[in-house]
Structure 1
Amino acid sequence: MRIFRLGRRRAPSVSTRYCRNCRKAAKSKRTLHAPLVKTTGPHTFQTGAARLITNSILRNAEASPMKTRDKKSAAAADEKATFTFMSRDTISRREFLAVSAAVGVTMLLPGGLSAAVHGKKTFTILHTNDMHSSFIGMGPSSDYTPFSLNDDSTRGGYARLATLIAERREARKGQGPVLVLDAGDYSMGTAFAAASRETGGELELMTHMGYDATTFGNHEFDLGPDGLGRSIGVAAKAGRIPAVVASNTDFAKQDATLGDLQRLAKDGAIRRYVVIERGGIRFGIFGVLGKETQIYTGGAGAVTFSDAIETAKEMVKVLRETEKVDVVIALSHGGVRKGQDGRFSEGDDVRVADVPGVDIVIGGHSHTELQEAIMVNGRAPLVQTGLESRNLGELVMSLDGGKIAVQSYGLYPINDSIAGEIDKLKKLPPPGTVDQGSVATGAGKDGVREIKEWQAIMDHLHSLPVKNPGELPVIPVDERAAEVRAIKAS
């Protein structure tokens, strides 16, 4: 196995939309909840994830209903997404292998493409991994200044991440389709994770940010199989969620704790793989939990895992031969390690990238900031962003006939140069502008009401009824609007 490092082209610095008046106002009112939107001139800044998180989960009755596109508009869209899944409940393992074998054995060239792609095309993958419920970023609360830019050291946060994803989508507009993917461990790690069972907040927020797919990391199982199933179920009831691809995760046993996961697989919320057709390209995406990572799934209970490498080979066969995809992408939560030569040449993510037919690996688990893409055998780029939403990765690829190649790769740091502005949530009433009863408040030395953001959000979340009536409006992600179809063996 040969490991190459792609020559880095640093991601351009994020443009700063700076308003001196806004900053001045922020310094005079260092409070997170009074009011949560400060408008001065043409600039509107969101004060942090409190408004994003609580309102995206709560959907206050005062919010304007958000309408999805009609069928004619959807049909006229330039980019369409078709989601295809093969779940454990729609097909058995024996049937799955039989379907694969029935297609016949074909020589697969690395990066081989179907005949569907004509001429050179470009596509972009925006990606994250190991976000660990880091809704409001990492850094001292006293240093966090959400009203202003360029004056705090907080890294990450979903409000800023959402802004950056939207900016990069706009920047890549007209340059081919854009996918937004995550490689697992999207939950656990902060106090917000305590509400995951009741709110499914992580997946719902990823929906608002436009994620197409994610996979399970080891920490998703910290909730236990029943808690994980309940979390995904609550988010799914609120509307479409990113495709959860779990190709080597098996919850087919007869066990009381697996009921929710089994129902979610049957309904297509959890899938072995997903096929997205966008911009004239068919993308096949699967997800695996690495062998080394499986050791840390202490809460998996009755859930079992098959070998990640053998599963990757199966997925390549199905996606190439049955689904006729042009690009195979693996979401691999297995990690990378440096070998004796000092290069990142070991770990399950590397082994998955070495499987013939896998074009791209979005990796996770080891919390590694790969400033350059690792080219496994000079063929498949392996990328990873670190942890806690501190960076957004951008991988630009080209397809030309039977060749797939990296055009550029870089990490965008998520810091105070990015405004946490969520345009679609501006009309929602800000939480914390009035006394919520259960929220502890106090007066600072300048008389300004002070409150810890995480406490306010958690109080809001815990005040919710456990059951979601399924009537909450969801921000539509137009590019991903599509039908889901099941594949069953005849």
Structure 2
Amino acid sequence: MKRWTRLALFAAVAAAAACAPRERTIVVLSTNDMHAKIQHFPRLAAAVEACRDTVPDALLVDAGDRWTGNAYVDKTAVPGKPVIELMNRLRYDVATLGNHEFDHGQAFLGRMIDSMDFEVVCANVLSDTCTFPQLPAATIVERGGVKIGFVGAVTNYEGPGHPAGNAASFAGLEFPDPQAEAIRRAEELRGRVDVLVLVSHMGDDRDEELLGRTRLFDLVIGGHTHVLRDTVVNGTLLTQTGKDLRYVGVTEIRLRGGKVQSADFRLVPLDGYGPDAGFAAEVERYYASPELNRPVGAFAATMDKQGLANWMAAAVADEADAEVGFYHIGGVRLDSIAAGGVGVARVYDLEPFGTQVARMEMTPAEMRRMIVTKYNEPTREGHRIDLVSTTPYAILVDAEDRAFDVRFPELREDRRYKVAVSDYVYRNYHDLHCTEGEITGEKVADILIGELREDSPLEADNAPRQKVVRTEAKKF
């Protein structure tokens, strides 16, 4: 399998070597949204080194969200450090920021950037604080006489006005329109480089919008939306490699007379490579944590993502002594946990953010307004059931998939209810109106660990309590 993958990956490179001397081929390897999945680094290292055996000056680029998603990275003495050490060892060249780079605050991120041996570029983050360095918008890397420009951009759509996350992490920073800033920097750089690459953490939908406005870029290395993309949009190649280091992207850019003639992309599955022994030993060292490896309880049956969300909604409600619990599906970071023993690390993989419980009082009308507003958001979090709840409800939508009502069969409209949510929802969700609101300081992961210790084995409740109903009748 490894031999097949190596041949598939580099056959075109070998052919390019036979081209006329005036023709050049640049190879760019890309990753995005690795989310701390360092267990896949040994296979990534094997793939990258196989490429470098054939193309020694291949570039290695990452499009953001390097940590948050693996307890063996997120719960170390310096969160994220294992990822950066592995990336430095693998000799990454360029990266941009993702929203999760800010999960531990901007001062922490500033220190982490200082430890990165690769260039971090972002055109649309402006710093007015000493805790966070002003990053370059772009950089130029030369390979074999070919100048390759890289412009970085990060989403500001979910904040609003900043990446998704707690607003306190972005104090003193500005995040202007990423598309406008990327285009502006491209206009400045285009005449100075042979190849121009956008390293984007906006999401493939926003990348498509940008490419509809400009043809300045030769390649977009994308991230944020966790999809596999290999698409030409308005003459420019748009790529993305999904998430969790399952694939590495390989882009070959052919030039003739200093002009780009073509760009071709391939997704290469990393499971086709045997792990690099040196990187495997390093990862094993990171995983040797007695505290994280300690079992705390068990599940009687497998919990799928719906079941995990139900569990988390019920857990925050119980902790806050609330009548209704909501948990946002984006905060449920695992797709399932299998029946059997559950260790501390698995709980932190499920909830890696240090999320706290918030409690308040709300009427059904206020809950309805919050749910409808979230459903109708134009971001990727819209038009889905985002808030899983302990109380059943139905979202009514019209033919254009616009929500206009929410029905609560078990709630009375004339009552105020004690409600529990995550502090992320409490701080960031639009149209959340309540009384007696406060953040309790209790961490969701600690609550889940406590329930596992006290009540194992936990039964799985994978049944959905929320649904979307399409109807033409608009009535509040």
Q: Indicate if the aligned counterparts of 1:275 and 1:282 stay in contact, CA closer than 8 A.
A: yes
Task: Map Cα deviations across residues 251-296 of structure 1 (whole Å, 9 max, x no partner).
Answer: 12xxxxx42313xx4xxxx422111111110111110013435544
Residue 184 of structure 1 corresponds to 64
C-alpha separation in 1, matches of 2:33 and 2:277: 23
Residue 141 of structure 2 corresponds to 276
C-alpha separation in 1, matches of 2:208 and 2:249: 16
Q: Indicate if the aligned counterparts of 1:134 and 1:158 stay in contact, CA closer than 8 A.
A: yes
Q: Indicate if the aligned counterparts of 2:35 and 2:65 stay in contact, CA closer than 8 A.
A: yes
Residue 37 of structure 2 corresponds to 134
Gaps of 5+ in 1: 1-10, 17-117, 137-156, 253-257, 338-346, 443-450, 459-490
Residue 221 of structure 1 corresponds to 102
Residue 375 of structure 1 corresponds to 232
> What letter is aligned with 2:101?
E
C-alpha separation in 2, matches of 1:189 and 1:439: 14
Task: Map Cα deviations across residues 39-85 of structure 1 (whole Å, 9 max, x no partner).
Answer: xxxxxxxxxxxxxxxxxxxxxxxxxxxxxxxxxxxxxxxxxxxxxxx
Cα 1:226–1:363 shift into 2, 3 Å: same
Matched, 1:14 2:5: yes
Write out aligned runs for 1:274-353 (5 A): 274-292=139-157, 294-295=159-160, 296-299=163-166, 300-302=169-171, 303-321=173-191, 324-337=192-205, 347-352=206-211
Residue 124 of structure 1 corresponds to 27
Task: Map Cα deviations across residues 363-404 of structure 1 (whole Å, 9 max, x no partner).
Answer: 11111112xx21111x21110000000100111110112631
Q: Indicate if the aligned counterparts of 2:64 and 2:98 stay in contact, CA closer than 8 A.
A: yes
C-alpha separation in 2, matches of 1:246 and 1:220: 12
Shift of 1:352: 4.5
Task: Map Cα deviations across residues 153-186 of structure 1 (whole Å, 9 max, x no partner).
Answer: xxxx11111111111222335xxx4111111111
Write out aligned runs for 1:179-258 (5 A): 179-191=59-71, 192-195=73-76, 197=78, 200-233=81-114, 235-236=115-116, 241-252=117-128, 258=129
C-alpha separation in 2, matches of 1:424 and 1:418: 13
C-alpha separation in 2, matches of 1:12 and 1:404: 30
Cα 1:279–1:402 shift into 2, 3 Å: closer
C-alpha separation in 1, matches of 2:211 and 2:84: 25
C-alpha separation in 1, matches of 2:3 and 2:267: 9
| Structure 2 SS opposite 1:167 | helix
> What letter is aligned with 1:201?
P
| Structure 2 SS opposite 1:259 | coil
Number of residues of Structure 1 aligned to a counterpart in Structure 2: 283
Q: Indicate if the aligned counterparts of 1:395 and 1:406 stay in contact, CA closer than 8 A.
A: no
Identify the structure with bigger relative contact order (alpha carbons < 8 Å, sequence gap 6+). 1
> What letter is aligned with 1:276?
V
C-alpha separation in 1, matches of 2:50 and 2:213: 33
C-alpha separation in 2, matches of 1:204 and 1:429: 11
Write out aligned runs for 1:352-367 (5 A): 352=211, 354-367=213-226
> What letter is aligned with 1:129?
N
C-alpha separation in 2, matches of 1:194 and 1:129: 21
Q: Indicate if the aligned counterparts of 1:353 and 1:359 stay in contact, CA closer than 8 A.
A: no
Shift of 1:198: 5.1
Residue 158 of structure 1 corresponds to 41
C-alpha separation in 1, matches of 2:248 and 2:80: 25
Residue 172 of structure 1 corresponds to 55
Cα 1:325–1:432 shift into 2, 3 Å: closer
C-alpha separation in 2, matches of 1:242 and 1:336: 24
Q: Indicate if the aligned counterparts of 1:200 and 1:232 stay in contact, CA closer than 8 A.
A: no
> What letter is aligned with 1:358?
F
> What letter is aligned with 1:348?
D
Matched, 1:419 2:274: yes
> What letter is aligned with 2:165?
G
> What letter is aligned with 1:313?
I
TM-score, structure 1 length as denominator? 0.51
| Structure 1 SS opposite 2:220 | strand
Cα 1:251–1:121 shift into 2, 3 Å: same
C-alpha separation in 2, matches of 1:194 and 1:353: 41
C-alpha separation in 1, matches of 2:283 and 2:86: 17
Q: Indicate if the aligned counterparts of 1:364 and 1:384 stay in contact, CA closer than 8 A.
A: yes
> What letter is aligned with 1:328?
L
Task: Map Cα deviations across residues 124-176 of structure 1 (whole Å, 9 max, x no partner).
Answer: 1110111111111xxxxxxxxxxxxxxxxxxxx11111111111222335xxx
Q: Indicate if the aligned counterparts of 2:293 and 2:345 stay in contact, CA closer than 8 A.
A: no
Shift of 1:439: 8.0
C-alpha separation in 2, matches of 1:336 and 1:439: 35
Residue 248 of structure 2 corresponds to 392
Q: Indicate if the aligned counterparts of 2:113 and 2:120 stay in contact, CA closer than 8 A.
A: no
**Which of the pair is proportionally richer in strand?**
2
Cα 1:312–1:199 shift into 2, 3 Å: closer
User: Root-mean-square deviation (CA), in Å?
Assistant: 3.5
> What letter is aligned with 1:391?
Y
Gaps of 5+ in 2: 8-20, 296-341, 350-476
Q: Indicate if the aligned counterparts of 1:126 and 1:180 stay in contact, CA closer than 8 A.
A: yes
Give aligned-pair identity as a percent.
28
C-alpha separation in 1, matches of 2:43 and 2:112: 24
Q: Indicate if the aligned counterparts of 2:156 and 2:164 stay in contact, CA closer than 8 A.
A: no
Task: Map Cα deviations across residues 283-326 of structure 1 (whole Å, 9 max, x no partner).
Answer: 111100134355442234212101112212221122134xx111
Cα 1:207–1:429 shift into 2, 3 Å: closer
